[in-house]
Structure formats: C-alpha cells, structure tokens
C-alpha cells in the first residue's frame, strides 16, 4: 500500500506541475512580453477559467501527504516552514493580482496588480524548482552538529541560505548554488510551458513572437539540463544507480528528452497544441526521472547519523492506507468528471472569454 500511495502522491504533484505550471509560465510571459493591453487580456483569458481549479491539485497532494505519510508531512512542514510561508504569500498575491486588476480601470491600479501577478508567478516557478533541488540534495536530518544529532531523527530546519552557499555544508540552507540551478531550470521550463499554453489557447498577436521565445529558451534549457546532470555527481556519487539496476526506468528520461527536443520544432507545428504537449512531456519526464533516481527515498539525509526518510519508514499504518483507497476511488471519479466538464466547456481558443472584466 505504501507504493500505491507514493505513486498517487507523485502523480498528483506531476499533474499540478503541468496544470498550474502553465499558469506560472503565463504570468512570466505577462510580466516580460505583454506590453499592450490586448496581449495582457489574451493571457489572462487563456488561464482565467482554469487557474484556481489547477491549484486544487497542490492542496489534494498535501492532503494525501498528510494521510499516507504523516511523519514526512510533519517533518517537511516544520523544516521548510519559511519557504512554505513565502510560497503561500506568493500564491495569494498571484491570485489577487488576477482578481483585483479589473476592479478599477486606472493605469496605476492595473500596473500594480500586473506586477504582482507577474513577479509572484516568476518567484513561484523559482521556489518550486529550488524545492525540488532540496529534495534531491537532501537535508540535515536530526540537525547533526559535529557528528551528534541534536534533534529527533526525522526533524530538521533550514534557513533561507547558509554563509557558504554550498550544497555540501553541514548546516544547509534552502538556497545554494545547486538548488538555485534547479530553480532557474524551473523558471525556464515553466516560461516555455506557459508560452505554449498561450499559443494553444489564443490567437494573440504575441503567438509568433512566443514561438521564437520557446525555441530560444529551449536552447538554454538543453544547456541547463546538461549542466545539472554533470553537477549531480557532486551531490550524489552514484546518481543513476536506480536506472542501471532497473533499466525499465529509462522510460522516464526518454519521455523527458522527447519533450525537450520536440520543442525545437515549435515554429513548424501545424497544430497549436503540439508545443504544449511536448513541454508537458518534458515536465512530466523531468519530475518522474528525478523521483525515480532517488527512490525509495523521499527526503535524503545529508549526514550518516540519521537514516533517509523513505516511503516505507514514513508511511501510515497499513489499515488506514487500505481504507483510504475506497475514498480515493470516489474522489478521483469526481475530479475526473469535474475536469472533463471544465475543459470541454472551455475548449478551443479563449480570446473572447473576457476574464476579470468589470
């Protein structure tokens, strides 16, 4: 049952990254490329009917984490308390930026909320990439100092950064050069993803320009991915051992690179949704490849005193996990029904939706 709920949790997170990821990317495009009012409206129309529903996947994933892996939930929410609060505020400002902009037709008012929406989207993309970097790198479980554990084995706390900015320091920070690298990858990847969604859902005058943006950023993405794979050896001496032990796991890197290299054809796609499909493949493959590389760890320990947190030593009792399956079946049917209706109602181009107008 632990493996089942682990797959459910990772699937929810992957769906969240793909769905809310295009919202973040659209916000970044809005911040840097939407100079005219008609372009800004096209972007908000493209995501308006979807963004709040997409965020539910993050809440649902948190609920599954609390239910299936309560010790991991307690450990993570205390250890990552500071960045989680920052993410919460960014989510709030992103939401109110969308909702309040159209309340008053004043240039200063609109400019303030445009910036709130765009900057919050940019920082959220950065922080979620940094969060993935922290999971890959691991944390100082038990707050070990000079070889002695000063806290419980599953407890940790991280400041925003440490003085050395190193991912190999004994006292780690949330941000170091490795986690920042993954944060930058997150920003570039979601900018590409958001641009592809805008191309898919609108006839905006920005679309031709965005195809060039996607192509150019994809070159940057290839370079960043290669660098991240090389420096991974600094963090983990044998980062690919799971793939060598279980060759079928190579399906996930294949999905990643299929999406990555498919994006180089964005200028020639006849169907506007193809770019979004390939960026979705890249995000899904990248996340699942990362998860597969550290399996069964869910939060590695950077010291030798306390063991890694795994899906097996963090899981709830088997009885509770078994009972939860019945409720999960009911919930997933309702969710699939809701999203099917939503995406059918709002299929096609969204230029005339008029989201946020008052």
| SS3 of 312-327 | CCCCCCHHHHHHHHHH
Q: What is the pLDDT averaged over residues 54-73?
A: 88
Is residue 172 domain-resident?
yes
How far CA 332 is from CA of 5, 37, 329, in Å, comes to 13, 39, 5
Say what the pLDDT of residue 123 is: 95
Is residue 97 domain-resident?
yes
Domain hosting residue 139, numbered range = 2-345
> Phi/psi at 5 (nearest 5 deg)?
-70, -30
Total domains, the chain: 1
What radius of gyration do the chain's Cα atoms show?
21
Is residue 61 domain-resident?
yes
Say what the pLDDT of residue 352 is: 72
Say what the pLDDT of residue 258 is: 94
Surface-to-core class of residue 346, CB atoms within 10 Å of its CB (0-12 exposed, 13-18 middle, 19+ buried):
middle
Is residue 354 domain-resident?
no
> Phi/psi at 299 (nearest 5 deg)?
-155, 100
Is the pLDDT assigned to residue 226 strictly greater than 80? yes
pLDDT above 70: percentage of residues in the chain: 98
Is residue 252 domain-resident?
yes
Is residue 350 domain-resident?
no
Angle, helix 2-32 to helix 37-47, in steps of 10 degrees = 170
Is residue 358 domain-resident?
no
Say which DSSP state 165 is in. Answer: -
Whether the upstream peptide bond of residue 249 has omega within 30° of 0, thus cis, is no
CA distance 88 to 92: 6
**Residue from 181, 173, 180 nearest 80 by CA:** 173
Is the pLDDT assigned to residue 75 strictly greater than 60? yes
Is residue 356 domain-resident?
no
β-pairing, 144-145 vs 297-299, is unpaired
Express each pLDDT in 91-145 by its tens digit.
998 888 888 877 777 788 888 888 999 999 999 999 999 999 898 888 888 888 8
Query: Rounded mean pLDDT of the chain?
Result: 87
Q: What is the pLDDT averaged over residues 256-270?
A: 89
Say what the pLDDT of residue 356 is: 58
Say what the pLDDT of residue 354 is: 67
- Cα of 28 vs its chain's centroid, Å: 14
Say what the pLDDT of residue 269 is: 85
Is the pLDDT assigned to residue 232 strictly greater than 80? yes
The pTM score is 0.91
If DSSP codes are grouped into helix, strand and coil, which group holds residue 171? Answer: coil
CA distance 217 to 281: 16
């Amino acid at each position: 049952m632990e493996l089942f709920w682990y797959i459910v949790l990772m699937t929810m997170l992957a769906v969240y990254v793909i769905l809310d990821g295009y919202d973040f990317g659209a916000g970044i495009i809005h911040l840097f490329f939407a100079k005219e009012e008609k372009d800004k409206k096209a972007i908000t129309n493209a995501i308006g009917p979807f963004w709040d529903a997409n965020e539910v996947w993050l809440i649902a994933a948190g609920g599954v984490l609390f239910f299936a892996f309560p010790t991991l939930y307690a450990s993570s929410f205390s250890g990552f308390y500071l960045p989680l609060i920052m993410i919460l505020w960014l989510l709030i400002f992103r939401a109110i930026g969308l909702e309040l902009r159209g309340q008053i037709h004043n240039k200063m008012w609109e400019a303030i909320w445009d910036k709130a929406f765009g900057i919050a989207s940019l920082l959220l993309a950065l922080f979620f990439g940094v969060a993935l970097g922290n999971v890959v790198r691991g944390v100082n479980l038990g707050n070990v100092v000079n070889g002695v554990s000063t806290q419980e084995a599953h407890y940790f706390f991280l400041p925003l950064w440490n003085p050395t900015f190193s991912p190999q320091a004994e006292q780690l920070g949330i941000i170091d050069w490795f986690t920042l690298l993954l944060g930058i990858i997150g920003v570039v990847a979601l900018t590409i993803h958001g641009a592809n969604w805008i191309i898919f859902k609108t006839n905006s005058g920005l679309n031709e320009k965005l195809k060039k943006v996607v192509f150019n950023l994809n070159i940057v993405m290839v370079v960043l991915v290669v660098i991240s794979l090389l420096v991974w050896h600094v963090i983990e001496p044998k980062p690919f051992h799971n793939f060598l032990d279980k060759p079928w796991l190579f399906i996930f890197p294949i999905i990643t690179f299929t999406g990555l290299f498919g994006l180089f054809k964005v200028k020639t796609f006849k169907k506007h949704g193809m770019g979004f499909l390939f960026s979705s493949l890249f995000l899904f493959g990248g996340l699942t490849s990362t998860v597969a590389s550290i399996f069964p760890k869910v939060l590695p320990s950077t010291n030798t005193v306390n063991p890694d947190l795994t899906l097996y030593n963090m899981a709830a009792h088997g009885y509770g996990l078994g009972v939860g399956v019945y409720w999960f079946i009911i919930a997933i049917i309702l969710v699939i029904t809701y999203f099917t209706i939503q995406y059918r109602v709002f299929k096609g181009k969204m230029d005339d939706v008029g989201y946020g107008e008052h």
